[in-house]
Amino acid sequence: MNGDVYMGQWSKGKVEGYGIHLSKGGQKYEGFFINFLKDGQGKEFFPNGDYFEGIFKMGKPQGFGVYKWKNGITYEG
């Protein structure tokens, strides 16, 4: 085990559907998964206080999203 925690939906023994993934490094993702990859609408929180909200595809942000730094500055695009 690597110390990560997942709470959410499973399908046929795989992480699929809505869930929350907490990494041992302090990162948190809330959103949709396909085969344990972030896929669909989600929100990723970083240990430094920043977060990204938007669409993920194959584990990576894709398309329109909002990045917000902990100091309140926001980027949409």
Helices (runs of H) and strands (runs of E) counted in the chain = 0, 7
Q: From CA 57, how far away is CA 70, in angstroms rounded? A: 25
Rounded mean pLDDT of 47-73? 96
If one compares 40 and 3, the residue with the highest pLDDT of the two is 40
Give the β-pairing of 14-22 and 5-11.
antiparallel
Domain ranges of the chain: 5-76
Residue 1 pLDDT greater than 70, yes or no: no
DSSP state of 12: T
For the chain, the first-to-last Cα distance in angstroms comes to 37
Local confidence band at 2 (pLDDT 50, 70, 90 cut-offs): confident
The architecture that CATH gives domain 5-76 is: Single Sheet (2.20)
pLDDT in tens, 5-58: 999 999 999 999 999 999 999 999 999 999 999 999 999 999 999 999 999 999
Instruction: Read off the tokens for 34.
Output: 């396909």
